[in-house]
Amino acid sequence: MLSLLTDHSLLMALAALLSLGAIFGGLLGFAAVRFKVEGNPISEQINALLPQTQCGQCGYPGCRPYSEAIAEGDAINKCPPGGEETIQALADLLDVEPQPLDAEHGVEKEPVVAWIREDECIGCTKCIQACPVDAILGAAKVMHTVIADECTGCDLCLDPCPVDCIDLIPRKQGIGFWHWPLPGDGAARFDIIASDNATRDAA
């Protein structure tokens, strides 16, 4: 073994690799400092994809914190309001496999808005303080109303209300929101509407 160590070819090898190692190590060390990056611009793009319901179901106080968590490598399937669509979008952005929504954070529901039964409202302003997007109007002792267009349906205002006068009602209702569904594969292309009363009347 010792004799081997003194063998010149071995020393050569040592020298060669040492120099290589030293040179490249130096190069990288230099690059590490020279090309340092601060912050994580990706979280902005992630936040742009989150629904901004600000409901905190993801376990973070609002969407931005969650976006930063994702940028740090948290799972992308924790946002129930966003649902599959958001997960898909995130997966595309980050080029990872989309997972199904993580049920422990809640399930995807149809979009809702808060609706205050105004005759019951006692004007306690509690909900106003709770609302993350200032979607509730009103002052102390006067009855409050929800600006439907601003409300994200995060339901944070329900618990604070002492008289439970706030309901969540579906946001998308009526013909204005209807559009054709995607046809099913190979299925019969029409559905039969239950026999209609026109003929009953006529008959």
- Sign (positive/negative) of CA torsion 157, 159, 163, 169? positive
Tokens encoding 163: 């008289």
Which x/- pattern over 171-200 shows residues binding other proteins (rule: CB under 8 A)?
---xxx-xxxxxx-xxxxxxxxxxxxxxx-
Helix H or strand E encompassing 7: none
Contacts of 167 by beta carbon, 8 Å cutoff, 6+ apart: 114, 115, 117
Q: What is the CA radius of gyration of the chain?
A: 30
> Which of 151, 166, 146 has its CA nearest to residue 111?
151
Tokens encoding 201: 């009347």
Question: Looking only at residues 137 through 156 of this chain, which bind ligand SF4 when binding is defined by CB under 6 A?
Answer: 146, 151-156
Triad 119, 120, 126: Cα angle to 5°: 120
Residue 103 binds which entry of other proteins, ligand SF4, none, CB below 5-8 Å type-dependent: none
Q: Are 51 and 108 in contact (CB under 8 A)?
A: no
Which x/- pattern over 41-60 shows residues binding other proteins (rule: CB under 8 A)?
xx--x-x--xxxxx------
Nearest-approach distance from CB 20 to other proteins, in angstroms: 6
Distance in angstroms (rounded) separating the CA atoms of residues 112 and 137: 18
Which x/- pattern over 117-156 shows residues binding other proteins (rule: CB under 8 A)?
---------------xxxx-------------xx-x----
Q: Are 157 and 130 in contact (CB under 8 A)?
A: yes
Compare residues 149 and 191 and give the one whose CB is closer to ligand SF4: 149
Nearest-approach distance from CB 116 to ligand SF4, in angstroms: 8
Which x/- pattern over 12-41 shows residues binding ligand SF4 (rule: CB under 6 A)?
------------------------------
Residue 163 binds which entry of ligand SF4, other proteins, none, CB below 5-8 Å type-dependent: none
Residues that bind ligand SF4 (CB under 6 A): 50-51, 53-58, 60, 62-63, 66, 79-82, 114, 130-131, 133, 135-136, 146, 151-157
